[in-house]
Amino acid sequence: MSDRVEFAVMNGLGNKILVVDMRGRTDRVTPAAAIALAADPATAFDQIMAIHDPKIDGTDAYIDILNCDGSKAQACGNGTRCVVQALASETGRKSFTFQTIAGILNAVEHQDGTISVDMGKPVFAWDKIPLSEEFHDTSRIELQIGPIDAPILHSPSAMSMGNPHAVFWVDRDPMTYDLERFGPLLENHPIFPEKANITLAQVTSKTSMVTRTWERGAGLTLACGSAACAAGVSAARTGRTERKVTITVASSPNRGTLTIDWRADDKVVMTGPAEWEWSGTVDPATGSWQRDTSAGAEAATP
C-alpha cells in the first residue's frame, strides 16, 4: 500500500477544507497527521473530510471528519459541500448519500454550482445536545459572559445538529465582538461536556441573519455550515425569523451567504457554494504532503 493518497485543498465560504481520498484503504488519517497539516501554513485547515469506501448499502462513501486539533467531528456542512463538488467533478453525478458518525447525509449539486446538503433533524433535548445541567427549555439557557448586571453575551439557544451548538443573540454586527477572547471560554464551559460551537447571530429581518462562529476544535473560523444551520433553526424556533433564511457569514470572504431551510418534515437543508483551490498527495499517517505541479493542475478541479 502506497504511503501517499490524493487530497484537495478546498473551501466553503472560506472555511478551509482538506478532502482526502482514502478509498480502497483500511487505514485512517491519524490525529498526528491532522495536527501536522494544521500547523503548516500551506495546508492549515478547519476540517479534514476523509472519503472512505461505504460501510452500508445505499451510501456512496463513509466520511471521517477531523478537526485541526486531531479530534473527531460529527458534522461539517461546508466540508460536505466540498466533498460533493470533488466527487461530482470526478464522476459526473449530481446526487450523493454519505454516512458519518452523526448519521446519513444526502446532498445534491445544482445546475448553478451551489450544493444542498440535508443536515438531518435538529435536536433540542438537554441531555442529547448534550448539556451538563437539565433545562426544560433549551431555546434560552442560563449562560453569560461579562458583568452580572451588564453581560456582554447571555442566554444562548442551545441545540445539536449532530454536534453541540450555542447561539448567542446580538444586536449589532458580530464582527464587532471579541469572539477570539470569549470563544475559548464558552467552548470549554462546564455546561458543555463535549464542548460546543459558539455562534453570534444578528437577526436583520424575518428572512435574513448575520453570523460569526468560534468552532469547537478549530477555533475562530471563516465559516461553519452546521453553525449556520443551528442559527437558522434557533432563530425560527424562538420566533425571530421564518423557517427559511439567508445567512450572511460575516467572517467569510466578501461576507458570503448560505440558505438554511428548516423544512416542514423537520429536516434542515443548507445550500451554498464550494471552491477547489489546489491538490496534491499526502501521507495519512504523518501529514507529509506534496503539491501537484503538473500542467493544468492549478486550473482544473480534481
Q: For 183-197, what is the mean pLDDT?
A: 97
In whole angstroms, give the CA distance from residue 66 to residue 256: 24
pLDDT per position as a tens digit, 193-252: 999 999 999 999 999 999 999 999 888 888 889 999 999 999 999 999 999 999 999 998
Number of folded domains that form the chain: 2
Smallest CA-to-CA distance from 143 within 169, 125, 175 is with 169
The better pLDDT of the pair 121, 77 is held by 121
Give the pairing type, strands 61-67 and 95-100: parallel
Catalytic positions, written as ranges: 76, 224
Smallest CA-to-CA distance from 227 within 197, 183, 269, 250 is with 197
Which pLDDT value is given to residue 217? 83
Residues 6+ apart with CB under 8 A from 112: none
Q: Are residues 189 and 166 in the same domain?
A: yes
In whole angstroms, give the CA distance from residue 202 to residue 153: 12
User: Is the model's pLDDT at 25 over the cut of 50?
Assistant: yes
Q: Are residues 172 and 249 in the same domain?
A: yes
Q: pTM score > 0.75 for this model?
A: yes
Tally of residues, the chain: 302
**Which domain covers residue 285, as residue numbers?**
5-118+274-291
Q: Are residues 87 and 194 in the same domain?
A: no
Low-confidence winner among 241-245, 252-256, 281-285, 296-300 (lowest mean pLDDT):
296-300
Residue 200 — left, alpha, or beta (φ > 0 → left; ψ -120 to 50 → alpha)? beta
For residue 209, being part of any structural domain is answered with yes
Q: Are residues 69 and 148 in the same domain?
A: no
Q: Are residues 201 and 90 in the same domain?
A: no
**CA-CA distances (angstroms) from residue 242 to 12, 97, 207, 237, 261?**
25, 28, 6, 9, 9
Taking the CA of residue 159 as centre, how many other CA atoms within 13 Å lie in the half-sphere pointing to its CB?
A: 27
For residue 236, being part of any structural domain is answered with yes
In this structure, what C-alpha cell is assigned to residue 7? 487530497
For residue 139, being part of any structural domain is answered with no
Q: For 90-98, what is the mean pLDDT?
A: 96
User: Is the model's pLDDT at 298 over the cut of 50?
Assistant: no
